[in-house]
């Protein structure tokens, strides 16, 4: 995805590959919490820990395979982590992936 400006300030022109940036993969099961009823989040839509771990590590390995391995970092799955970041801009993107084109 092209999420960074180019040298002339053109919006959405460069990818992480173009800028030679780093990628941080952090597992975040809490993103699947449902909060429609009650005061407690519902995580029933999340995968079981074994399947989630397998999928997470598969994802991280794919990112490493498709980019530069030493520029891809990840946290420890199911660990308490404190992650600090600087949000550069007012944009938050929600990415949804479907089946690869060859499987559709």
Domains delineated in the chain? 24-77 (3.50.80.10)
Determine if residue 65 is left, alpha or beta; phi over 0 gives left, psi from -120 to 50 gives alpha, anything else beta: alpha
Q: Which are the catalytic amino acids?
A: 30
What is the percent of the chain where pLDDT is above 90? Answer: 42
Q: What is the pLDDT of residue 30?
A: 61
Q: What is the pLDDT of residue 101?
A: 55
| pTM to 2 decimal places | 0.73
Q: Which residue has the higher pLDDT, 87 or 12?
A: 12
What is the percent of the chain where pLDDT is above 70? Answer: 88
Q: Where does the pLDDT of residue 65 fall: very low under 50, low under 70, confident under 90, or very high at 90 and above?
A: very high
């Amino acid at each position: 995805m092209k999420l960074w400006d180019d040298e002339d300030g053109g919006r959405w022109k460069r990818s992480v590959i173009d800028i030679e940036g780093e990628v941080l993969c952090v597992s975040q099961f809490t993103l699947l919490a449902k909060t429609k009823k009650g005061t407690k989040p519902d995580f029933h839509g999340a995968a079981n820990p074994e399947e989630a771990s397998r999928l997470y590590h598969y994802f991280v390995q794919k990112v490493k395979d498709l980019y530069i391995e030493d520029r891809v970092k990840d946290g420890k799955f199911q660990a308490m982590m404190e992650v600090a970041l600087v949000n550069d801009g007012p944009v938050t993107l929600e990415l949804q992936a479907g089946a690869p084109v060859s499987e559709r």
